[in-house]
Every structure is written in C-alpha cells, then in structure tokens.
Amino acid sequence: MPSLIWYFYRVFFELIPLVLLTIFTGIAIACGLFLIGYVFLIRKDNQTSDILLGLLFIAVVLRLSKSLFAFVFSVNSLTGISFGLLGAMTIAPLLLLYFESNRKGFVKFSYWHYLHFVVPILAFALLISDNIGARHSYFFGHRLFGVYLIWIGFNYIIRNRSRFSFTSWHRQLYFCVVGLWLLFSYQMWFDGAFNYGLGIVGASVILYYLFFMVVKSPKSLLRNGSTEVPPDLVAKVKNSFEIEKIYLKRGITVAEFAASLGAPNYLVSKAINVAYHKGFKDVVNGYRVKDVSTKLLDPDFADDKIENLAYDVGFNTVSVFYTAFKKETSMAPRDFQKAHGLK
C-alpha cells in the first residue's frame, strides 16, 4: 500500500508536471524558432537590424533550451551549459545593437560592434574548455546582462524615447528582455526545483508573448521606429542626384542606391523625402525629365529623336517617359518645345 501511494504521488506531483512543463516550454521554443525563421527567411529585407533581431531570438532560445534540458532531462553537459551561457551573455548586446541599428541605420559592423561579443565568446571558450566554473561564469554573465539593460533603458527607453520615437514594439521587446533577465536571475539566486521550474515557465510565457505580437501584426511590430535622418546622409543623397547624376543609370532601384551609400533602404528613402519631399521614383524621373527638357531646347540636339533623348537619360520605355514628362511639365514634349518658341 505505501508503495502504491508513493507511485501515485510521483505520477501526479512529479511526472505529470514534468511532462506538462516539457510540452509547454517545448512549444515556446518552437515559437522562438519560428521567429528566427521569420526574420531570416520571410522578411528578406537584408537589413542589419533584421539580422540582429534574428540573432537575439537565437540567444533567447539557447538560454531557455539549456534550462529545459537541465531541469527536465537532467542533461548538464558542459557543451549545453556553455551554449546556454553564450546565449545569456549575448541577449543584451544584441538588443543594444538592434536598437542602435534602428536609430542610426548602420548596415555594416564596425570594430566596436564586435567588441560587445569579446567577453561572451571568451567566457564561452573558458567554460567549454573547463577552465572556469559554471556557477561563477553564470553569475558574472547575468550581472553583465543587467548592466547592459540599465544602459539600454536609460539611453533608449528613458532619455531618447521622445527624440527617436521608438515604436511600441521596441519598448515591449526591451521589457520582455528585462523580464527574461529577472527570471533567469531568479533561477540562480533561489535554489530548488520549484524555483528553477518557475523561471522556465515565466521565460516561456515571455517567448509566447513575443510570438503572438509578431503573428498578430508583423509589419507594425517589426518595422523600424521613426528614425532621425543624419544630415550627412541627406547631403550624400543630394550630391548623388545633382553631381554624380545616379538617375542616368537605367533601371536603378532604391536598394542599389542605398547600397552605394552604405545605408539601409528605409533610411535612404527618408533622406530622399527630407531632401526633395518626394519618393525615390519621382525624384529619379524628375531629374531625367529635367535633362530631356534642357536638351529639347538646345539646338545641338535639334536633330535627335525625343525617344532617343529619353533612353539616354535612363528611361526604359517611351510610355513611361511621356507619362513622367507630362507629370512634371503638364504638357507633352512637342508642346513643351512650342511653348518655348520652337517648332
């Protein structure tokens, strides 16, 4: 009889909770993998901010997976613990760079960006080679995690909130990461299986929350916030159109133009709007029409066909040229010449 009671006790108070926890957290990790796949495979914006966001989700999944395997399956391999540490120590640096990329719009990493990962990688290497203790390394990692969050909160959420107008997504992402830090810290500071499992459940809930935010409204939640356009970028845009005449390149796209400037598409589009109060296509066609208009009034080009002039400045088709010309001048090319005294 005592053995039967012990059996039911284990089933209802140990095995079933473990199974439910495994299912609950396993689905949360699957949601995290979906977020990773969404950022890397579906969005395809090729922006640094998307890459950083995807890496941030990978770091969260690594840390949560370590907790799940250690608690449910009693898997405490040095490799798993080391990758869990790497995930924990890179969450905050990735969040910092994600916010910074949204604010400044950088598309390439500079050496100081990589410096944020020196300590996490060094700690990972020392732990996986068994040169430092796991407990001490985790305590150090989570303290560093906390320092980053304080810095991010002060500089991006508090001090710069009104200036850079981060979206609701940015603020909620920050507080979700703060919640993860509190839960993972709770696991370390309070011993016992119940406290450790509670931390896993809480972290899973946060991952579910991020997942449903993205599924509910991916465009509004993952778009970049209202970003301040650097004056030097506006100057570069003007120089490209007015001096370098990039509009002469047939078939040029905003993506190609942005790549030539070393800035993300969205930021270059904003810079164009600041400089000309128009979109990229309208600015390109406007400059092309201006060039053709000048030639139409120049005797040196009197024998040139209008269609050839259109092709020379980058238009792909005659129909597009005539539409753009009429939009800019409110008349057809021949009428334009007549209006200026030419037959």
Structure confidence by residue, pLDDT tens digits, 273-300: 888 888 889 999 999 989 988 888 888 8
Please give the average per-residue pLDDT across 148-169, as a whole number. 75
CA distances in angstroms from 36 to 180, 263, 319, listed in the order given? 18, 24, 43
Residues 244, 323: Cα–Cα separation, whole Å: 25
Residue 96 shares a structural domain with residue 214:
yes
Residue 131: which pLDDT band, with cuts at 50, 70 and 90?
A: confident
User: Is the Cβ–Cβ distance between 264 and 107 less than 8 Å?
Assistant: yes
Give the CATH number, domain containing residue 212. 1.20.1070.10
Say whether both 194 and 238 belong to one domain: no
Mean pLDDT within 243-255: 88
pLDDT of residue 176: 95
Residues 77 and 41 in one domain: yes
Task: Tell me how crowded residue 26 is: count the other CB atoms within 10 A of its CB.
Answer: 14
User: What's the CA gap between 28 and 184, in Å, rounded?
Assistant: 16
Residue 75 zone, left/alpha/beta (φ > 0; ψ -120 to 50; rest): beta
Domain of 310, CATH number, reads: 1.10.10.60
Task: Kindly state whether residues 207 and 284 are assigned to the same domain.
Answer: no
Does 249 lie in the same domain as 165? no
Last residue of a domain, one of 198, 222, 246: 222
* Of the candidate ranges 77-81, 114-118, 335-339, the one whose mean pLDDT is the lowest: 335-339
Looking at the structure of the chain, the number of domains it has is 2
The residue out of 157, 189, 222 marking a domain boundary is 222
196 and 288 assigned to the same domain: no
**Residue 162 pLDDT:** 42
Same-domain status, 29 and 6? yes
Q: What is the mean pLDDT of the chain?
A: 83
Range of the domain at 91: 2-222
What is 259-320 written as a DSSP string?
HHHTS-HHHHHHHHHHHHSS-HHHHHHHHHHHHHHHHHT-GGGTTS-HHHHHHHTT-S-HHH
Please tell me whether residues 118 and 184 are part of one structural domain: yes
Together in a domain, 244 and 171: no
Q: Which of 158, 188, 222 is the last residue of a domain?
A: 222
Look at residue 254 in the predicted model and tell me its pLDDT: 86
User: Is pLDDT at 335 greater than 90 in this prediction?
Assistant: no
Same domain, 299 and 156: no
- Among 35-49, 216-230, 283-297, where is mean pLDDT lowest? 216-230
- Looking at the fold, whether 283 and 179 belong to one and the same domain comes out as no
In the structure encoding, which two tokens stand for residue 219, read together?
Answer: 């465009």
pLDDT value, residue 11? 47
3 state DSSP class of 251? coil
d(CA 236, CA 146): 39
pTM over the 0.85 mark: no
Instruction: Check residue 299 and give its pLDDT.
Output: 82
Residue 148 has a pLDDT of: 95
Q: What is the pLDDT of residues 95-114, one digit of tens each?
A: 999 888 776 655 567 778 88
Q: Is 342 helix (H, G, I), strand (E, B) or coil?
A: coil
Looking at the structure, do residues 306 and 199 belong to the same domain, yes or no? no
Supply the pLDDT for residue 5: 54
